[in-house]
């Protein structure tokens, strides 16, 4: 008396199909699957360590030096 029998589940399924229609249920399930996939991707991104910063490139060539301001060329 406390649990649903197979007949109850079939009637409930028919009522849900009549209320929402077949296309609407498949759309809802597709959105639900996308949400689960997004959630799993978010968990996987949280587990990966952050990428190391890119190496800094220092120039080994000599840079030209500007003449001192007290030198005046005429």
Model pLDDT for residues 24-70, shown as the tens digit of each residue: 878 888 899 999 999 998 888 776 666 777 788 776 666 666 666 66
How far is residue 41's CA from residue 38's CA, in Å, rounded to a whole number?
Answer: 5
Please give the structure tokens belonging to residue 1. Answer: 């008396």
Q: Is the pTM of this model over 0.75?
A: no
Buried b (16+ CB within 10 A) or exposed e, 39-69: eeeeeeeeeeeeeeeeeeeeeeeeeeeeeee
């Amino acid at each position: 008396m406390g649990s649903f029998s197979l007949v109850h589940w079939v009637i409930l399924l028919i009522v849900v199909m009549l209320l929402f229609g077949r296309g609407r249920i498949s759309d809802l399930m597709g959105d639900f699957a996308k949400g689960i996939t997004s959630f799993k991707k978010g968990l996987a991104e949280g587990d990966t360590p952050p990428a190391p910063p890119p190496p800094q490139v220092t120039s080994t060539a000599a840079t030209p030096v500007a003449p001192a301001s007290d030198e005046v060329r005429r």
